[in-house]
Amino acid sequence: DEFKIELKDAGPLYKLRLELKPWPEMAEPPTWSISQLVLSRPETDIDFQIGRCRLGLGEGLETAAEFPTPNSGLEVLHYTVQVATGSEQAQPFQGPVSVCLIGERGDSGRRPCYELGPMAAGDIGEFSISAVDLGQLKQCLVAAEAATAGAGWHCDGLMVTQPNGQQAVFACGSWLDPGQGDGKTERLLRLDENLAEDEDNKQYEEDAKALIDDIAEQAARRVQELHDAEDVQKSRRSRRRRQSRQSKRVF
């Protein structure tokens, strides 16, 4: 397939995202297999190293995939997303939940998850999002599709675990339901600043400890060098005294 896209200047290109959006009248869940993708621009062509990629609806499949440009120096990371259902959920919610992670390097796009199953009060569901490195996470867009008004989802919050083990918490505590609360079905959540501050403090303490250890190591090395130099001087003075005594015996 070949098609043309006209865009305003979007700045340096560092990644490309493909999304599969099924039409409502489709009888069967669609799938899309991609083996090669070449982006042609007036000045150059970009050949994305895809290998094998299969998008679709179903177990083990994702509806979107991202690919870094060959010279970007970035890689695809896997983020683990945990969603918590609030205590006000009287009846289990059955419907897709979509999440868009937003970081310093852009966003992941909306990623729907159809495999969470019925979520009752206190339940925690988990799924993963693969995206080109987003940098430090800042915000998160969460949405839920209710079958009818009043049958939505009470979202307590989300926790995203990054590949390096760092966790980002996004508190919500609101309904995603056209028939409850303010009627919103999606919300833009900001990073829990208290946790972020704790993480920053922890990192600061680790950096400070590393700096203190480095200074102590350098000081110990310098003291040892001074001791070694003093030992060398003592050895030289002792050798000169012996040589002086031997010279006196000769004369």
Q: Are 130 and 77 in contact (CB under 8 A)?
A: yes
Domain spanning 75-191: CATH superfamily: PLAT/LH2 domain (2.60.60.20)
Which has more confidence, 39 or 139? 139
pLDDT at residue number 234: 72
7: CB partners within 8 A, 6+ apart = none
Which has more confidence, 38 or 81? 81
Within its chain, how far is the Cα of 87 from the centroid? 28
Distance CA 172, CA 156 (A): 5
pLDDT reading at 230 higher than 80: no
pLDDT per residue as tens digits for the range 83-114: 999 999 999 998 889 999 999 999 999 998 87
Q: Which of 146, 128, 135 is nearest to 83 (CA)?
A: 128
Which has more confidence, 141 or 27? 141
pLDDT at residue number 52: 73
pLDDT reading at 56 higher than 80: no
pLDDT at residue number 214: 60
List helix spans (H) across the chain: 193-250
CA-CA distances (angstroms) from residue 40 to 33, 71, 149?
20, 16, 46
Q: Which of 198, 131, 178, 186 is nearest to 158 (CA)?
A: 186
Contacts made by residues 190-196, CB under 8 angstroms, sequence distance 24+:
190/138, 190/139, 191/137, 191/138, 191/139, 191/140, 192/168, 195/167, 195/168, 195/169, 196/168
3-state secondary structure of 212: helix
Q: In terms of C-beta density within 10 A (0-12 exposed, 13-18 middle, 19 or more buried), how is residue 218 classed?
A: exposed
pLDDT per residue as tens digits for the range 111-130: 988 778 899 999 999 999 99
pLDDT per residue as tens digits for the range 201-226: 555 556 556 655 665 676 677 767 77
Q: What is the mean pLDDT of residues 69-89?
A: 91
Q: Are 126 and 112 in contact (CB under 8 A)?
A: no
3-state secondary structure of 26: coil
Using alpha carbons only, give the angle 53, 59, 61 rounded to the nearest 5 degrees.
20
Lowest mean pLDDT among 61-65, 125-129, 154-158: 61-65
Backbone φ and ψ for 249, nearest 5 degrees, come out as -65, -40
The pLDDT confidence band at residue 60, using thresholds 50, 70 and 90, is low
3-state secondary structure of 154: strand
Q: What is the mean pLDDT of residues 61-82?
A: 87
Q: Could you tell me the pTM of the whole model?
A: 0.70
Tokens representing 183 are: 């009627």
Q: Which residues pair with 31 in a beta bridge?
A: 56
| Highest-confidence segment of 50-64, 96-110, 222-236 | 96-110
pLDDT reading at 196 higher than 50: no
